[in-house]
C-alpha cells in the first residue's frame, strides 16, 4: 500500500478516534473559541505570511499590520481556503523538510482564517499576543559571496514579470564544496524567485540567442539551456540551505555560474542587486552531492484535459543512493505532483507530494535523507489542468501541449540532490 493511502487512512482514523465536535457533536469536546487577531491570527501571519507580507516583500500588502489585516480578513480567508496563500508547498505529512512549519498551512489553521473573518475579525486582547516573526538565520561568515556585478533596473512585461540572467564572476582558484548556501535578494519587494545554475557547456546565453560573453541577458523561458544544472532555488521564506555533514556540492574554478532572477513588479524602475552567500569546504567530503532529475519524457497533454497525469518509473540500477532534497518543477499548467520510492518487497516511502504553482517554486531539504536502495523504483507523477478554465491556461481554445523546455510547453521533473558512494 502506498504511503499516501496510509496517510489518508490515518487522517480518516483521526476523525473517529479524535474528538472533533463538528463531526461528532456528542463527543463532548469544547467548540473552538472564536479566533482573535492577537491570540490566533497574528501568530499565523508572522509564521506563514510575513516572509512576503511584511510591507517590504513580494506580497506587498503588510498583513502584520492589524488594521490592514482586518480590512482584508475576507480576502485572506478566501485566498487561504483556495490554497493560493501561502503559495503551495510540499506537504510535510508526506515528508518533513526544513522550514515546513512556515511554508505549509494545515487545514485547522486555514479554517481559523475563515472563522476569524466570519466573526468580524475581532482584535481580542493585546496581552494575549505571543509571537514576533522569528529572527531569520543567515550565513554570517561566508567563504564565498557571488553578487550581481551591478544593480539591474527591473523592467517587467505587461503581466509584471521579468526574467533576467547574469553570469557571475567565479573567483575560485581550487575546487571547493558547498556546505551551506543562502540567497540574498537585493530588493525583496520585487524578487519573486532566484535560481542558481552551473552552465556545464560554458556557453551561457547561447540558448537565448545572445552573443558569447554577454554578462546579463533576458531569459524568460526558464531553462532554454538544457546544460544548466541547478545549484539552488530560492523563493521568499526559503532560508539557509545546509547540507548534511560530510556532504557537499562541488564547484570548480573557471565554471560558469549563472543567477536567474524572476522579478515581479507592477512598474519599471526598481534596482536589484542580488547575491549568494556560501560556506565552503576545501577538502572533498565523504559524499559529493549532485543534481539528478526524475520524471517522464516525452509526453503530450491533450487539449481540454482537466486532470492529465503522466508518470515515470526509474529503477536504481546502481549502488545505494541517498536523496537529500528536491525541487518539483512543472510549467504553467502544472497542478500537483506525487513522488515515492517502492519495490516488490513492499517498501513504500512518500518522497514529495503537493500542489504546484509555477510562480512559487522552491527547493525542499528533507529533515532525514532518503535511502534509495538498489532495485527500488523511484516513481514520479504529475497532474496538469489543460482545460479552458485552468489557472495557467494561455491558449483559448486550449491546444495539445507537448513536453519541452519553453513555458508554453510542459515538464514534470523532480530535480533532486543526490549522492552515491
Q: In the complex, which residues of this chain contact ligand HEC (CB under 6 A)?
A: 48-49, 51-53, 58-59, 61, 63, 72, 75-76, 79-80, 85-87, 105, 235-237, 360
- The grid coordinates listed for 91 are 506537504
Query: 72 vs 167, which CB is nearer to ligand HEC?
Result: 72
Cβ 339 vs Cβ 322: under 8 Å: no
Other CB atoms within a 10 A radius of the CB of residue 28 amount to: 8
Select 373 or 394, whichever has its Cβ closest to ligand HEC. Answer: 394
8 Å CB contact between 268 and 153: yes
For the chain, how big is the Rg over CA atoms in Å?
Answer: 22
Contact in structure between 244 and 211 (CB atoms under 8 Å):
no
Rounded to whole angstroms, what are the CA distances from 18 to 13, 23, 105, 154, 307? 8, 10, 20, 52, 33
Cβ 413 to ligand HEC shortest distance, Å: 21
Rounded to a whole number of angstroms, the minimum distance from the CB of residue 266 to ligand HEC is 10
The whole-angstrom separation of Cα 361 and Cα 352 is 13
Confirm if 414 and 352 have CB atoms less than 8 A apart: yes
Instruction: Give whichever of 49 and 176 is closer to ligand HEC, judged by the CB atom.
Output: 49
Q: State the minimum distance, in angstroms, from the CB of residue 43 to ligand HEC.
A: 11
Q: Residues 195, 196, 200, 201: is their CA dihedral positive or negative?
A: positive
Angle (CA) 110 115 117, round 5°: 100
Nearer CB in complex with ligand HEC: 77/280: 77
CA distance 240 to 276: 10
* Nearer to ligand HEC among residue 167 and residue 235 (C-beta): 235
Closest residue by Cα to residue 93 from 110, 81, 105? 105
**Cα–Cα distance between 368 and 349 in angstroms, integer?**
12
Q: Which is nearer to ligand HEC, 84 or 343 (CB)?
A: 84
Of 44 and 165, which CB lies nearer to ligand HEC in the complex structure? 44
Q: Minimal distance in Å, beta carbon 119 to ligand HEC?
A: 16
CA distance linking residue 80 with residue 355, whole number of Å:
13
Shortest distance in whole angstroms from residue 364 CB to ligand HEC = 14
Q: Residues 6 or more apart from 11 whose CB is under 8 A from it?
A: none
C-alpha distances in angstroms, 417 versus 60, 137, 246?
32, 22, 14
Distance of closest approach, residue 86 Cβ to ligand HEC, in angstroms: 4
Angle, helix 107-118 to helix 73-81, in steps of 10 degrees = 150
Tell me whether residue 58 or residue 181 sits nearer to ligand HEC (CB atom).
58
Report the residue number, 103 or 230, with the smaller CB distance to ligand HEC.
Answer: 103
Nearer CB in complex with ligand HEC: 48/336: 48
Ramachandran angles phi, psi of 124, nearest 5° = 80, -155
Please answer whether residues 287 and 419 qualify as being in contact, where contact means their C-beta atoms are separated by less than 8 angstroms.
yes
CB of 211 to ligand HEC, least distance (A): 34
Q: Which is nearer to ligand HEC, 78 or 224 (CB)?
A: 78
Q: What is the DSSP letter of 25?
A: G
Q: CB of 236: closest distance to ligand HEC in angstroms?
A: 4
Q: What share of the chain is helix, strand, coil (3-state, %, to 5)?
A: 15, 35, 50
Q: Least CB distance from residue 116 to ligand HEC, whole Å? A: 11
Q: How far is the CB of 72 from ligand HEC (least distance, A)?
A: 5
Residues whose CB is less than 8 angstroms from the CB of residue 33 and which lie 6 or more positions away in sequence, other chains included: none
Amino acid at each position: 500500500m502506498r504511503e499516501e493511502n496510509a496517510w489518508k487512512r490515518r487522517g480518516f482514523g483521526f476523525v473517529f478516534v479524535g474528538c472533533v465536535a463538528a463531526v461528532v457533536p456528542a463527543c463532548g469536546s469544547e467548540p473552538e473559541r472564536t479566533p482573535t487577531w492577537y491570540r490566533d491570527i497574528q501568530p499565523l501571519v508572522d509564521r506563514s505570511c510575513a516572509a512576503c507580507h511584511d510591507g517590504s516583500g513580494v506580497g506587498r500588502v503588510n498583513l502584520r499590520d492589524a488594521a490592514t489585516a482586518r480590512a482584508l480578513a475576507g480576502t485572506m480567508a478566501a485566498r487561504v481556503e483556495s490554497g493560493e496563500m501561502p503559495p503551495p508547498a510540499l506537504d510535510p505529512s508526506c515528508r518533513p523538510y526544513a522550514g515546513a512549519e512556515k511554508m505549509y498551512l494545515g487545514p485547522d489553521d486555514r479554517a481559523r482564517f475563515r472563522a476569524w473573518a466570519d466573526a468580524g475579525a475581532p482584535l481580542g486582547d493585546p496581552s494575549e499576543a505571543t509571537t514576533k516573526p522569528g529572527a531569520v538565520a543567515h550565513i554570517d561568515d561566508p567563504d564565498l559571496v557571488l553578487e550581481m556585478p551591478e544593480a539591474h533596473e527591473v523592467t517587467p512585461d505587461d503581466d509584471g514579470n521579468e526574467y533576467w540572467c547574469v553570469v557571475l564572476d567565479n573567483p575560485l582558484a581550487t575546487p571547493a564544496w558547498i556546505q551551506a548556501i543562502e540567497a540574498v535578494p537585493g530588493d525583496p519587494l520585487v524578487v519573486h524567485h532566484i535560481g542558481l545554475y552551473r552552465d556545464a557547456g560554458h556557453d551561457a546565453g547561447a540558448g537565448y540567442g545572445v552573443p558569447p560573453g554577454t554578462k546579463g541577458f533576458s531569459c524568460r523561458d526558464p531553462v532554454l539551456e538544457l546544460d544548466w544544472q541547478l545549484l539552488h532555488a530560492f523563493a521568499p521564506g526559503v532560508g539557509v540551505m545546509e547540507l548534511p555533514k560530510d556532504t557537499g556540492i562541488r564547484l570548480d574554478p573557471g565554471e560558469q555560474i549563472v543567477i536567474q532572477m524572476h522579478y515581479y513588479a507592477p512598474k519599471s524602475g526598481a534596482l536589484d542587486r542580488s547575491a549568494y552567500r556560501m560556506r565552503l569546504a576545501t577538502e572533498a567530503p565523504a559524499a559529493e552531492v549532485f543534481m539528478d532529475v526524475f520524471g517522464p519524457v516525452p509526453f503530450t497533454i491533450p487539449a481540454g484535459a482537466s486532470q492529465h497525469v503522466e508518470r515515470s518509473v526509474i529503477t536504481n540500477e546502481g549502488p545505494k543512493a541517498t536523496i537529500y532534497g528536491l525541487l518539483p518543477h512543472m510549467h504553467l499548467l502544472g497542478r500537483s505532483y506525487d513522488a515515492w520510492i517502492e519495490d516488490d518487497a513492499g517498501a513504500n516511502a512518500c518522497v514529495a507530494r503537493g500542489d504546484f504553482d509555477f510562480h512559487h517554486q522552491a527547493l525542499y531539504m528533507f529533515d532525514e535523507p532518503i535511502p534509495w536502495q538498489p532495485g527500488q523504483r523511484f516513481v514520479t507523477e504529475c497532474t496538469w489542468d489543460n482545460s479552458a478554465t485552468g489557472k495557467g491556461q494561455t491558449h483559448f481554445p486550449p491546444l495539445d501541449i507537448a513536453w519541452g523546455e519553453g513555458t508554453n510547453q510542459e515538464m514534470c521533473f523532480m530535480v533532486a540532490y543526490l549522492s552515491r558512494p
